[in-house]
Structure 1
Amino acid sequence: MRNAYFSSSLGAGFALLAALSNGTVGVLSRSAFKEGLDHTAVAFWRCAIAFSLLSIIILLRSGGLARLVSVFTGSWKIAVCSALGIFTLYHFETQAFTYAPIPLVAILVFAGGLGAIALDILILKETVTTRKAFAMTMVFLGGYVVIAGDGLMTGSIIGVSLALIAGLGYASFIFAWKFFKLRSSLETFWWCLAYGLVMLAVPYAWSGAPSRQ
């Protein structure tokens, strides 16, 4: 019981840390835009920096490279999740920042978590726990605060649409990860970032950003 409670608390702590870190994405993206980078470059380098840091951590761990190679088997499932949670999320969320306010984009993207919960209930037959109900309520309240403050009116239809696509990718990623029963580990996440980096490199190169002065 104690171990289960510890694991649950640790998971909640990691989720909170991830949310706090992700809260800086919009601000940093806007700063990068002011420096002349377009959304494809920002999305690519967001992933590239995370990939580089994680690579260093894994290589410094004993047996890290061997575990990394072993995870490659059956990694097509990771590639599917990467297309949803890395490419779709990063590409469309970063682009949405150019058309809509940061708070609005954040709310619309994370509203995708509601979609993930819905898919879990309908397809994976998970029960609606008190924590899930609380999470859904908080998302609705956050969305109401933004919309009540005319946040929705300040964002263009393009920005809202892009944010919703990113949110759909985020929700699908969470569901797919559970559906495939992927193990959450640094090595699995490394492959997720690796596939995502390759995918994000396509629009980055296509935009001509690498050759800009």
Structure 2
Amino acid sequence: MLDLLGIREAVRFEGGISRRLFLAYGTALSSLPLLSQVTAAEQNPRFAKNPFTLGVASGDPDSRGMVIWTKLAPSPTDPDGGMPAAAVEVRWQVAEDEAMKKIVASGTTIATPQLGHSVHVEVKGLKPDRWYWYRFAAGNAQSPLGRTRTLPAPTAMPQRLKFAFTSCQNYEQGLFTAYQQMMRDDVDLVFHLGDYIYEYEAGR
């Protein structure tokens, strides 16, 4: 927490605002809006509809962790995803087993309306070249279970590394069957070279 009394006493001690104080406390003051959101976040909201309609995702792996993601959207086609203009507390867990009994990392983050109630967690401290399972929860709702994997250690020499890449997508021009093939091929890593899905019909 930001110590406002400490700021006042430091100013008195140094006889004014020094450059050191300006940098130290200026950074802290800039975090006040975020702190207010954390304080005001709903810790146990009751959802009438499933807020995890968009599922979960993971990416940007290294040998010690990865990013896990989800978004609260009970009505995903609505402009606000069907969420109120309020911050919501989201819990997350990472486990070594599909039953989620061997939890190895967990925490809490905040889904804010400013970020579309999406959450982006950078998980660290995992073991190299391992499968992990993860999930999120908010209030009375729980996300689907996701599976992800860490990369081999930087000094490792794996016998094979199978990867695929995908780019901008249009359902009418491919029916997304390439993703089914990726699953059959059991690739180790997917590179997304394009970052969006075309939403209009081909040729119009």
Same fold (TM over 0.5): no
TM-score by length of 2: 0.22
Greater RCO between the two (CA within 8 Å, min separation 6)? 1
Higher strand share: 2
TM-score by length of 1: 0.21
Is the radius of gyration larger for structure 1 or structure 2?
A: 2
Higher helix share: 1
